[in-house]
Structure 1
Amino acid sequence: MKTTKEKADENIHDNLVNNLQNLLEKNYDAEKGFKKAMEDSKNSRLKSYFQHQAALRGRFVNELDKEIRNLNETPKQSGSVTGDLHRTWIDIKTAFTGKDDEAVLEECIRGEKASVEEYEERLQNNNFPPEVSNVLNNQLTEIKSTLSKVKTLEDIADAWN
């Protein structure tokens, strides 16, 4: 039988792992989303930018994977069904809009806003160990930078075409 402290420690551990697993899953989704945006974009500069963002999210996946393994847990290996459904919706939407770069950028903005909200909510509502908190805050900062950049790119996308 576990003591109250052992049970509390187990709950804290499980909560930490669940939060990291959910963020890992979201980053798999974001990585796939940026790869999809790269495929759909007509502009070579945007393709390059989306490729860079997919690689960035791949790095986030590796960082989160490491944190989960440090907790002696097995990381998830793929994204979510919701992410797959979202990419299917993007396929349908871009098919009707002619896969123009502006529509692709709009979906990237929507996805990055959701990522910012997800990270902020998890950081605000959980008491992560400092090393985990640092990783998540650094990732959040980079996502916010991406969001700002994508908004700028949307404004100038027409000039590139």
Structure 2
Amino acid sequence: MNYTENVSKKLNELLEKNYDAEAGYIAAKDNVKSSSLKNFFKERATDRYDFGHELKEEIRSFGEKPDKGTSLKGDAHRVWMNLKSTFSSDSDEVVLKEAIRGEKKALEDYNEILKEVDLPASTRSLLEKHRSSVQAALDYVKTIKDFA
């Protein structure tokens, strides 16, 4: 596998995780009562949708083909989250905990790819921008949870 294919493969894995996160945020929005949380999760879903399109363009810039769709693991996690929030008396807190867990994992995923020494400047810049947004969302969710 050449370098371009290797980077594209990693970006495709990140793309799939962003599809999962987008779907997860949509599910989270549907599982909370608070209108401010609904708005927050809707905004995060939009961010992840946008991240997906940016990643697709970056993958195409390497002459590679972007993957489509969510992962089975992500689909199963959303079903689990829906069940937990359905049977929980405090579904907002349950969903916030899952959002924190998901954002921490997203940061790990971005940091792992950013460890690559030879990333093209456009790829590095894009991933750093995404990572900053994920970090800001994580910080915000942690703050909300602390006040909940």
Q: Distance in 2 between matches of 1:52 and 1:30?
A: 12
Q: Are 1:41 and 1:99, in contact at CA under 8 Å, matched by a contact in 2? A: no
Instruction: Name the counterpart of 1:132.
Output: 123
State the TM-score, normalized to the length of structure 1.
Answer: 0.87
Q: Distance in 1 between matches of 2:74 and 2:96?
A: 17
Cα root mean square deviation, aligned: 1.3
Deviation readout 1:5-42 (Å, 9 max, x if unpaired): xxxxx510111110110010000000011101100010
Identity of aligned residues (%): 40
Deviation readout 1:104-157 (Å, 9 max, x if unpaired): 100000000000011101111452111101000110011001000000111223
State the TM-score, normalized to the length of structure 2.
Answer: 0.95
Q: Does 1:79 align with 2:67?
A: no
Select the residue among 65, 83, 93 that pairs with 2:84: 93
Q: Distance in 2 between matches of 1:41 and 1:63?
A: 29
In the comparison of the two structures, how many residue pairs are matched?
A: 148
Q: Distance in 1 between matches of 2:141 and 2:72?
A: 25
Shift of 1:51: 0.5
Q: Does 1:59 align with 2:50?
A: yes
Point out where structure 1 has 5 or more consecutive residues left out of the alignment: 1-9
Select the residue among 108, 121, 126 that pairs with 1:117: 108
**Residue correspondence of structure 1 range 39-50 to structure 2 within 5 A:** 39-50=30-41
Structure 1 stretches of 4+ with a deviation exceeding 4 A read: none
Instruction: Name the counterpart of 1:5.
Output: none
Instruction: Name the counterpart of 1:27.
Output: 18
Q: Which has the larger radius of gyration?
A: 1
